[in-house]
Structure 1
Amino acid sequence: MESPGAQVESAVEHCLEVAATWLVWGGRPALSEDGERIYTPHKAVRRIGDHLVDHLAEVEALLAGVPTEPDHWHASLVTLESDWARFTELDLDEARQRLRRLGRTFSLRLAAAGESSWDLPRGENWSLREIADHLTGIRWYADQVGRLPR
């Protein structure tokens, strides 16, 4: 059985495979499948990274037995000026470096916590496995921009 952390790393790899096609992005945003938000390559990368950071911080707080940091992200509701920038080879390389490290750090944290801790009840919070399962949903952000044709 694959560890929950490995599943998160696999989701990151999916995102990066999709992002590798964004070098041809022409500046036109994609409408999300729910029709409520727009996505650009930089916005998708930002949201993937933010989601990983948010839940890594949540896991750390849960393991330390302290309250989690309240979520005040603007998340996908906003599109920043920087989200409109052209997506270049260097942007892709930076995304690879950042997102792989975040995904691996999350995976290593779960491994260090130990398999016996993955399904422990965490009060009103999700278990560590449930957080990891939720994080595999980062694929959605990349898929909103989608694989762009050459």
Structure 2
Amino acid sequence: MTETSQETPAQAVTGMVGHVLELAAGWTNWDGRPAHVDDRVYTPHKAIRRVADHLVDHLAELEARLAGEAPQPDHWHASMVTTEADLAPFTQADLDEARSRLSRLARIWANRLDTLTEEQLDRSPGEGWSFRELALHLKGSTYYADSVGDLS
């Protein structure tokens, strides 16, 4: 994975969350019909859930690796499962909750990434992607929101 701009790892994560929340602002207009993308089903709630889960999952990995521990394996059902909660209407209150949840997660990521040296970002402890690559991987979480689309 290579960086193609001067974007910092923190900006990659906060920018992704900004994009998701920009799309989510129109999801209160959702008509209740799930989007079928690739071999999966997406709804506003599912997109928010997947973005949050992805941020939490990789944050746990980053913190474990910094502590010298092996990351815990995740047991998410990920996007393979669409729950009844995923099918609920997406209200203004849901949008407010999503903004709070994702904005806070993005700040945790940005604060952590900004404390790491270039050496730590590129030669990260433990097995797996470097922390810079991990942040750029998270940027791809826009896929979930893009699957629901702009409903404004």
| TM band (smaller chain) | over 0.9
Match of 2:11 in 1: 6
Return the TM-score normalized by structure 1.
Answer: 0.94
Change (3 A) 1:123 1:64: closer
- In structure 2, the partner of 1:90 is 93
Partner of 2:84: 81
Q: Which amino acid aligns with 2:119?
A: S
Consecutive unaligned residues in structure 2, runs of 5 or more: 1-5
Aligned to 2:3: none
Q: 1:116 is matched with which residue: 119, 123, 137? A: 119
Deviations along 1:106-147, whole A, 9 cap, x unmatched? 111111223331000545311000100100011100000000
Separation in 1 of the partners of 2:107 and 2:117?
15
The residue aligned with 2:32 is: 27
Rounded Cα–Cα distance in structure 1 between residues aligned with 2:67 and 2:116: 11
| Deviation string, structure 1 residues 56-112 (Cα, Å, up to 9, x no partner) | 101101111110111221000001111111101110011000001101101111112
Do structure 1's residue 67 and structure 2's residue 70 form an aligned pair? yes
1:37 aligned onto 2:40: yes
User: Share of identical aligned residues, percent?
Assistant: 57
Q: How many corresponding residue pairs? A: 147
Structure 1: 5+ residue stretches without partners: none
Moved over 3 A (4+): 121-124
What is the alpha-carbon distance in structure 1 between the residues aligned to residue 113 and residue 23 of structure 2?
A: 26
- Equivalent positions of 1:49-60 (< 5 A) are 49-60=52-63
Does residue 17 in structure 1 map to residue 22 in structure 2? Answer: yes
CA RMSD of aligned residues (A): 1.1
SS in 2 for 1:38: strand
Q: Which amino acid aligns with 2:146?
A: D
- Taking structure 2 as the reference length, what is the TM-score of the superposition? 0.92
